[in-house]
Chains A and B, each alone.
Chain A
Amino acid sequence: MTNLELEGLGFVPAGPVPEHEVTGGFCCDLLSWAMSRCTEGKVWFTVMGNINTVAVASLADAAAVVLCQEATWMPDALERAAQQGVALFTTDLPAYEAALVLARRLGQL
Chain B
Amino acid sequence: MQYDLHIHSCLSPCADREMTPATIAGLCALNGADVIAIADHNSALNLPAAEKCCKAYGVKLLPALEANTAEEIHLLCYFPTVQAALAMGDALYESLPEFDWDPAIWGPQWVMNEDDEIIAQPKKLLTAAAGLTLEETARLCRSLGGISVPAHIDRDSYSLLSVLGLWPEEPEFLLAELADPNRAAALTAAGLVPPSLHFLTGSDAHCLEALRTEFPLLDEGCPLRSLLK
Shortest Cβ distance from residue B72 to the other chain A in the assembled complex, whole angstroms: 9
Any B CB within 8 A of the CB of A2:
no
Shortest Cβ distance from residue B162 to the other chain A in the assembled complex, whole angstroms: 5
Decide yes or no: A34 and B165 within 8 Å by CB, A48-B71, A50-B71 being known contacts: yes
Chain A residues near B161 (CB, 8 Å)?
A: 32
- Chain A interface residue number, banded: 10 to 19
Any A CB within 8 A of the CB of B197:
no
Which of B134, B135, B163, B170 is in CB contact (< 8 Å) with A31? Answer: B163
Chain B residues near A30 (CB, 8 Å)?
A: 162-163
Which of A35, A48, A51 is in CB contact (< 8 Å) with B168? Answer: A51
Using a Cβ cutoff of 8 Å, how many contacts connect chains A and B?
32
Docked-complex contact A74 and B133, CB < 8 angstroms: yes
Any B CB within 8 A of the CB of A7:
no
Shortest Cβ distance from residue A35 to the other chain B in the assembled complex, whole angstroms: 5
Q: Which of B133, B135, B165, B170 has the most CB of A within 10 A?
A: B165
- Count the B residues whose beta carbon is within 8 Å of the partner chain — how many? 12
Tell me the chain A residues, 4-47 only, with Cβ under 8 Å from chain B: 30-32, 34-35
Chain A residues near B166 (CB, 8 Å)?
A: 31, 52, 55-56
Q: Which of A35, A52, A76 has the most CB of B within 10 A?
A: A52
Which of B133, B134, B165, B168 is in CB contact (< 8 Å) with A32? Answer: B165
Decide yes or no: A32 and B71 within 8 Å by CB, A51-B168, A74-B133, A76-B170 being known contacts: no
Task: Provide the bound-state CA to CA distance between A56 and B166, in Å.
Answer: 9
Task: Provide the bound-state CA to CA distance between A74 and B163, in Å.
Answer: 16
Task: Provide the bound-state CA to CA distance between A31 and B162, in Å.
Answer: 7
Chain A residues near B133 (CB, 8 Å)?
A: 50, 74
Docked-complex contact A52 and B164, CB < 8 angstroms: yes
Q: Which of B133, B162, B164, B168 has the most CB of A within 10 A?
A: B164
Q: Which of B135, B161, B163, B168 has the most CB of A within 10 A?
A: B163
The 7 closest A-B CB pairs, nearest first, are: A31-B165, A52-B164, A32-B165, A32-B162, A35-B165, A31-B164, A52-B166
Name B residues whose Cβ lies closer than 8 Å to a Cβ of A: 71, 133-135, 161-166, 168, 170
User: What are 10 A-B residue pairs whose CB atoms fall within 8 Å in the complex?
Assistant: A32-B161, A35-B165, A48-B163, A50-B133, A50-B134, A50-B164, A51-B168, A55-B165, A74-B133, A74-B135
